């Protein structure tokens, strides 16, 4: 009887599994798209605030759009401006294809209402709930900074990366025949102020990673020499004036050293030097050109351009072992290397058919992506979060302008700094 | 009395407007900047290699230089993507070599490039042209340590040149210390 | 009838009992009974009252789609197919016979004519020429007749073809109606389903199609820029309504360890509502609960 019992049990089990619900159907979704998150930034409700504060939503919208990761919803047809979740009609916003909205209000606070408090929220339309709710204070005159910081907070929440909308750029303008100035401005070109004026050319401005100093090449001594200038005090020191050329300053990641290019009386070669000008050391010596050094973020490698293979290409050298490896192979020549903050992407200029354009290369897969079309694009540099590239380009009148392009290639936006021609530009670090 | 009161209150308002804010501003908005035209040494000037071995031209040498028709031409032009001295310019180089050797002159060769490409790489290209002329002079017996090379890259170039007109910027110029 | 071996065997009772149980269970295996009381999320509709109107799926953007298997015909369909074949064979036979008949008739006529001709020739020489002419005329007539016959044959065939088609449709519809109405057919269907459950879905073609549609729709929304550059995997489970809307959101089973990536993929799923769902009840039940596996930066090696 025992044997029968187990047979019985076995058959019951068979029946059960045959009659049981099936295993879940699995659907595999491989890959994805480079798309933009639609966000609507609603004008903040102005309770007794100044007119300038009313422009904050525009600054936020422009910031998010420029990054290439967001698209703005046209709210011209929208009449109700909610200030928080309770006032939001979710189905309306879903119908407009908006995934998130940014709402808020501005109140005057403090003694004699001289300060402003902005209370804003980031709201998820699909989940119908508030993602973030923040209050921030400041002077009305600082509405741009406040807006940039709001944009930074939104950016960080939705992408996981720090926003760069409250950072600075520096650029050299040629204002006249013998008039050059190095400017510092908000990353979007607002608020420019000159920190160096000269009758001669200034090139290669480079911010130290700690944000305190800026190095640049000046031709005021009738030859290129390198200065390091303290941004806060304006005081500067002459870092390098060796025989021949002194150029291409590149800060080490810890801001303690720079890689520079000297010629003496031979072709351009790469050296390293302490930030106080001591301890000059030659990195390599070949018969070819070696220039444009750029440190990897971990400080172990220096990327540079060289014509040792016949045409200008980009190589990297191990700082300890001095081993040199070629990195670029496409197009006619490749120059001006720099690395993304995570060290995974190489940014450079790629020349093809006589056109210079901005390109990035994935250092793991070696896949190259052209970000711009040229023909005279130059001076490419990553934003501090590696999501955008600042570069110069020539307009139809052959006047050089500056602009940003998102690294997904989706969004190119000019930066308006006036009509004079730009020589070179660079991006400052995140302020800690 | 009234005026000073007015002035005082105006100043007070201005001062109030400049009060510190909640936003930490560390970019030095009002930092002073230097005017460079008249700046000389900052005390930290470094020149490790030492000065040129040649001699600065004296007045009679300068006069001779100005008078000599064959020395008026200072420029050697290069083809695109080439650093070879073309035969057209061998004369220029040999004429100057003669003059240099005669006066033991200190020479500076200035290299240039056209505007296309990055500023820094063009500095290196201009330098390569200067070095080519220097080596050509050395081949004619000039003491290498008397020749300094400087590159201006594209900083003196025509930023709107097209095609063949850009050839003007691909050149090296011979200069003399003292002129 | 005496069965001594039955009476003499002590264990037999037990063995018989076992056998009966085995048989019963075996039958249960084939004809399983759904003893679970399922509360449906939607109102039960008496199926097969009317042919459901199919919503035409949106045209897909051309991408590499997974291979869709050719649907295997069910037993019911096979019966219909067989019947159809038989009918076609029959009709073919009839047409062939008709053809034969007419061809035979023609032959007979021809033979008769020839005989007449010979007699006439032998009898009259004068009338030879006339007869010749007559013969020629007759020939021409015959040829005309032949052509006509052939024409008519063709026409007949055409008509037969059309008739065949109409008849086939009639048969099909009749069969479908029978299937719809008869209880017997229902039981057969259940029986067939039962075997299908064991044999793992002969309707896999349709299932794969809907899986591909769902995959496409969600893929369009996956913003992989928020997932960095390194290979990673996310797994979500969802429960769906027949409308294609999710019940209770998307449940994350495996995280990418990157918050913005998790949220972007979750958004992609939510945004894809309503997901394309089949009208077929049974097919829907297979798609009601889904496991979604994402590898936004490419396959993990």
Q: Which pLDDT tens digit goes with each residue over B39-76?
A: 223 333 334 444 567 888 889 999 999 999 999 999 99
Mean pLDDT of chain A: 92
* Token pair listed for A385: 């979060």
Predicted confidence at residue C123, as pLDDT, reads 80
B91 in reach of chain A (CB within 8 A):
no
Q: Which residues pair with residue B148 across a beta bridge?
A: B108
Find residue B107's DSSP bridge partners. Answer: B147, B176
For chain A, what percent of residues have pLDDT higher than 70?
95
CA separation for the pair C124, B30 (Å, rounded): 140
Domain assignment present for A22:
no
Contact A4 C219 (CB under 8 A): no
| Token pair for B3 | 């005026």
Q: Where are the beta strands (DSSP E) in B27-82?
A: 75-77
- In the block, tokens 């360890």 appear at C257
Separation of alpha carbons A263 and A211, rounded Å: 29
Asked whether the predicted pLDDT for residue C60 surpasses 50, the reply is no
Task: Say if A3 falls within a structural domain.
Answer: no
Average pLDDT, chain C: 74
Q: Are residues A55 and A75 in the same domain?
A: yes
Q: Which of residues 52-71 of B touch A (CB under 8 A)?
A: none
The answer to whether residue A15 is domain-embedded is no
Which pLDDT band holds residue C57 (cuts at 50, 70, 90)? Answer: very low
State the pLDDT at residue A111. 84
Nearest C-alpha in A relative to C272? A126
Mutate to test the interface with B, among A201, A265, A310 (most CBs of B within 10 A): A265
Same domain, A358 and A314: yes
Tokens 């449906």 label which residue?
A: C40
In terms of phi and psi (left: phi > 0; alpha: psi -120 to 50; beta: otherwise), the region of B161 is: beta
The domain boundary, picked from A104, A127, A159, lies at A159
Dihedral, CA atoms, C224, C260, A348, A181, nearest 10 degrees? Answer: 140
Per-residue burial over A317-330, b if 16 or more Cβ lie within 10 Å, else e, is: bebeeeeeeebbee
In terms of Cα–Cα distance, which of C187, C209, C198, C195 is closest to C280?
C209
- Name the domain boundary from A159, A179, A198: A159
Residue A5 lies in a domain: no
pLDDT tens-digit profile of A1-10?
Answer: 566 777 676 6
Q: How far is CA C67 from CA C64, C204, C209, C211, C257, in A?
A: 9, 11, 9, 12, 33
Task: From A128, A159, A190, give the residue that closes a domain.
Answer: A159
Q: Give mean pLDDT, residues A128-137.
A: 94
Lowest mean per-residue pLDDT among A148-152, A268-272, C16-20, C128-132 = C128-132
Neighboring chain A residues of C227 at a CB cutoff of 8 Å: 32
Q: Is there a cis peptide before residue C274, judged by omega within 30 degrees of 0?
A: yes
Residue C75's pLDDT is what? 63
Q: How many whole angstroms separate alpha carbon A311 and alpha carbon A376?
A: 18
Residue C2 buriedness (CB in 10 A; 0-12 / 13-18 / 19+): exposed
Angstrom distance (rounded) from CA A110 to CA A120: 19
- In this structure, of A350-354, B22-26, B162-166, C126-130, the range with the lowest mean pLDDT score is B22-26
Judged by a CB distance cut-off of 8 A, whether residue C21 touches chain A is: yes
- CATH number of the domain to which A403 belongs: 2.120.10.30
Dihedral over Cα of C180, C184, C190, C193: its sign? negative
Whether A364 and A295 share a structural domain = yes
CA distance A28 to chain C (A): 5
In a domain, A28, yes or no: no
Report if residue A6 sits inside a domain. Answer: no
Question: For chain B, how big is the Rg over CA atoms in Å?
Answer: 26
The alpha carbon of residue B116 is apart from the nearest alpha carbon of chain A, in Å, by 7
For residues A351 and B53, the model is more confident at A351
* Helix (H) / strand (E) containing A176: strand A168-176
Indicate the helix (H) or strand (E) that contains B128.
helix B119-139
CA distance A119 to A47: 11
CA distances A73 to A40, A97, A149, Å, are 5, 8, 21
- Provide the whole-model pTM: 0.70
pLDDT band at residue C117 under the 50/70/90 scheme: confident
**Residue B145 to residue B139: CA distance in whole angstroms:** 13
Q: What is the CATH number of the domain that holds A61?
A: 3.40.50.10070
* Look-up of token digits 């470094």: B46
Count structural domains, chain A: 2
A187 and A327 share one domain: yes
Q: Are B86 and B79 in contact (CB under 8 A)?
A: yes
> Containing H/E element for A394?
strand A388-394
First-to-last C-alpha distance (Å) of chain C: 73
Peptide bond into A375 cis (omega under 30): yes
CB contact under 8 A, A14 and C197: no
Alpha helix (H) residue ranges in C182-258: 183-199, 204-219
pLDDT of residue B41: 32
Q: How many residues does chain A have?
A: 432
How far apart are the C-alpha atoms of C171 and C184, rounded to whole Å? 19
Question: What's the rounded Cα separation, in Å, for the pair C8 and C6?
Answer: 6
C242 or C199: which leads in pLDDT: C242
Q: Has residue A12 been placed in a domain?
A: no
pLDDT of residue B26: 28
With beta carbons less than 8 A apart as the criterion, state whether A297 and A345 touch.
Answer: no
pLDDT attached to residue C152: 74
Chains A and B form CB pairs within 8 A to the count of 167
**Contact assessment for residue A323 and residue A334, using Cβ atoms and an 8 Å cutoff:** no
Biggest CA-to-CA distance, chain C: 115
For a pLDDT cut of 90, what percent of chain A falls above it?
Answer: 78
Q: Contact, B147 vs A266, CB < 8 A?
A: no
C260 and A35 within 8 Å at the Cβ level: the answer is no
Count of H-run helices and E-run strands, chain B: 4, 4
Residues A362 and A401 in one domain: yes
- Residue pairs between chains A and C whose CB atoms are closer than 8 Å: 120
3-state SS assignment for residue C65: coil
Domain covering C188-294: architecture: 2-Layer Sandwich (3.30)
Lowest mean pLDDT across A268-282, B6-20, B138-152, C84-98: B6-20
Q: Residue A298 in contact with residue A253, Cβ under 8 Å? A: yes
Residues B33, A146: C-beta atoms closer than 8 Å = no
Do residue A144 and residue A220 come from a single domain?
no
Q: Within this chain, do residues A237 and A122 fall inside the same structural domain, yes or no?
A: no
For residues A162 and A8, what is the distance between their CA atoms, to the nearest angstrom? Answer: 65
Residues 58-117 of A with CB under 8 A from B: 115
CA pair distance A376, A236, nearest whole angstrom: 32
C-alpha angle A405/A407/A413, rounded to 5°? 15
What DSSP character marks residue A39?
E
Give the minimum alpha-carbon distance from A414 to chain C in angstroms, rounded to a whole number: 23
Q: Is some CB atom of chain A closer than 8 A to the CB atom of C254?
A: no
From the CB of residue A168, how many other CB atoms can be counted at a distance below 10 Å? Answer: 21
pLDDT at A17 over 90: no
A32 with C219: CB under 8 angstroms? yes
For residues A412 and A301, state if they share a domain.
Answer: yes
Over residues C179-195, the pLDDT tens digits come to 555 544 455 555 455 44
Domain range enclosing A130 = 37-159
Looking at the structure, tell me whether residues A186 and A333 fall in a common domain.
Answer: yes
pLDDT band (50, 70, 90) for residue C143: confident
d(CA A415, CA C212): 44
Q: How confident is the model at residue C15 (pLDDT cuts 50, 70, 90)?
A: confident
pLDDT of the residue at C238: 96
Mean per-residue pLDDT for A346-362? 95
Option in A28, A158, A362 nearest C260 (CB): A158
* Domain shared by A66 and A144, yes or no: yes
Contact call for residues B52 and B148 (beta carbons, < 8 A): yes
Q: Do A15 and C211 touch (CB under 8 A)?
A: no
Option in A193, A247, A351 nearest B29 (CB) = A193
Residues A59 and A184 both lie in one domain: no
């Amino acid at each position: 009887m025992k044997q029968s019992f187990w047979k019985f049990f076995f058959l019951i089990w068979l029946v059960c599994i045959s009659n049981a619900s099936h295993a879940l159907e699995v659907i595999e979704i491989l890959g994805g798209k480079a798309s933009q998150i639609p966000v609507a930034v609603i004008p903040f409700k102005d309770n007794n605030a100044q007119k300038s504060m009313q422009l904050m939503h525009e600054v936020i919208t422009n910031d998010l759009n420029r990054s290439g990761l967001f698209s703005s919803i046209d709210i011209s047809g929208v009449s109700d401006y909610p200030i928080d979740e309770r006032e939001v009609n979710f189905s309306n916003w879903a119908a407009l294809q908006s995934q998130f909205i940014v709402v808020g209000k501005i109140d005057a606070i403090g003694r004699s209402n001289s300060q402003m408090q902005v209370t804003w929220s980031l709201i998820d339309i699909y989940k119908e709930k508030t993602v973030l709710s923040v209050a921030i204070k400041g002077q009305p005159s600082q509405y741009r900074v406040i807006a940039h910081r709001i944009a930074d907070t939104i950016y960080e929440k939705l992408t996981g990366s720090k926003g760069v909308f409250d950072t600075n750029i520096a650029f050299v303008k040629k204002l006249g025949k013998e008039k050059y100035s190095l400017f510092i401005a908000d990353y979007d070109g607002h608020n420019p102020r000159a920190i160096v004026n000269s009758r001669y050319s200034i090139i290669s401005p480079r911010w130290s990673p700690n944000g305190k100093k800026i190095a640049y090449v000046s031709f005021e001594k009738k030859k290129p020499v390198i200065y390091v200038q303290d941004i806060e005090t304006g005081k500067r020191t002459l870092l390098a004036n060796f025989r021949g050329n002194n150029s291409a300053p590149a800060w080490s990641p810890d801001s303690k050293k720079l890689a520079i290019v000297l010629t003496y009386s031979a072709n351009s070669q790469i050296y390293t030097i302490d930030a106080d000008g001591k301890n000059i050391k030659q990195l390599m010596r070949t018969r070819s050109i070696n220039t444009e050094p750029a440190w990897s973020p971990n400080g172990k490698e220096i990327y540079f351009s060289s014509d040792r293979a016949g045409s200008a290409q980009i190589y990297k050298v191990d700082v300890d072992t001095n081993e040199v490896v070629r990195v670029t192979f496409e197009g006619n020549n490749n120059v001006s290397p720099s690395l993304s903050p995570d060290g995974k992407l190489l940014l450079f200029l790629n020349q093809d058919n006589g056109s210079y354009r901005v390109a990035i290369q994935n250092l793991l897969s070696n896949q190259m992506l052209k970000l711009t079309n040229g023909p005279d694009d130059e001076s490419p540099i990553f934003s501090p979060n590696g999501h955008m590239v600042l570069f110069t380009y020539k307009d139809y009148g052959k006047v050089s302008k500056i602009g940003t392009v998102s690294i997904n290639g989706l969004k190119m936006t000019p930066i308006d700094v006036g009509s004079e021609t730009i020589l070179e530009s660079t991006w400052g670090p995140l302020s800690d | 009395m009234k005026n000073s009161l007015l002035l005082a209150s105006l100043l007070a308002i201005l001062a109030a407007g400049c009060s510190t804010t909640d936003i930490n501003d560390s970019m030095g908005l009002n930092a002073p900047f230097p005017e460079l035209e008249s700046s000389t040494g900052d005390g930290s000037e470094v020149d490790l290699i030492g000065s040129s071995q040649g001699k600065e031209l004296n007045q009679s040498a300068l006069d001779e230089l100005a008078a000599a028709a064959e020395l008026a031409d200072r420029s050697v032009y290069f083809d695109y993507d080439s650093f070879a001295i073309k035969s057209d310019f061998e004369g220029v180089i040999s004429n100057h070599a003669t003059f240099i050797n005669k006066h033991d002159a200190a020479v500076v060769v200035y290299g240039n490039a056209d505007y296309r490409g990055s500023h820094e790489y063009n500095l290196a290209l201009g330098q390569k042209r200067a070095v080519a002329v220097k080596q050509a002079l050395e081949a004619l017996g000039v003491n290498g340590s008397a020749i300094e090379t400087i590159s201006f890259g594209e900083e003196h170039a025509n930023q709107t040149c097209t095609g063949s007109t850009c050839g003007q910027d691909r050149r090296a110029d011979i200069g003399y210390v003292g002129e | 009838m005496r069965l001594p071996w039955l009476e003499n065997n002590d264990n037999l009772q037990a063995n018989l009992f076992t056998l009966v149980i085995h048989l019963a269970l075996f039958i249960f295996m084939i004809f399983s009974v759904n003893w679970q009381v399922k509360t449906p999320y939607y109102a039960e509709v008496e199926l097969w009252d009317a042919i459901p109107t199919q919503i035409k799926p949106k045209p897909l953007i051309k991408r590499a789609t997974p291979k869709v298997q050719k649907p295997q015909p069910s037993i019911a369909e096979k019966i219909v197919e067989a019947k159809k074949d038989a009918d076609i064979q029959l009709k073919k036979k009839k047409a062939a016979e008709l053809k034969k008949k007419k061809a035979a008739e023609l032959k007979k006529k021809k033979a008769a004519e020839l005989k007449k001709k010979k007699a006439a020739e032998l009898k009259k020489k004068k009338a030879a020429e006339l007869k010749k002419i007559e013969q020629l005329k007759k020939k021409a007539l015959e040829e005309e007749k032949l052509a006509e016959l052939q024409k008519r044959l063709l026409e007949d065939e055409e008509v037969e073809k059309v008739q065949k088609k109409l008849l086939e449709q009639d048969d099909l519809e009749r069969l479908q109606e029978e299937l719809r109405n008869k209880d017997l057919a229902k039981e057969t269907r259940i029986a067939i389903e039962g075997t299908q459950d064991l044999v793992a879905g002969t309707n896999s073609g349709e299932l794969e199609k809907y899986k591909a549609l769902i995959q496409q729709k969600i893929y369009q929304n996956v913003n992989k820029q928020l997932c960095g550059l390194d290979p990673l995997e996310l797994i979500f489970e969802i429960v769906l309504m027949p409308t294609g809307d999710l019940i209770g959101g998307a449940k994350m089973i495996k995280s990418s360890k990157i918050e913005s990536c998790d949220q972007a993929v979750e958004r992609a799923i939510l945004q894809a509502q309503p997901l394309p769902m089949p009208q077929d009840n049974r097919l829907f039940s297979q798609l009601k609960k889904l496991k979604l596996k994402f590898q936004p930066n490419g396959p993990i090696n």
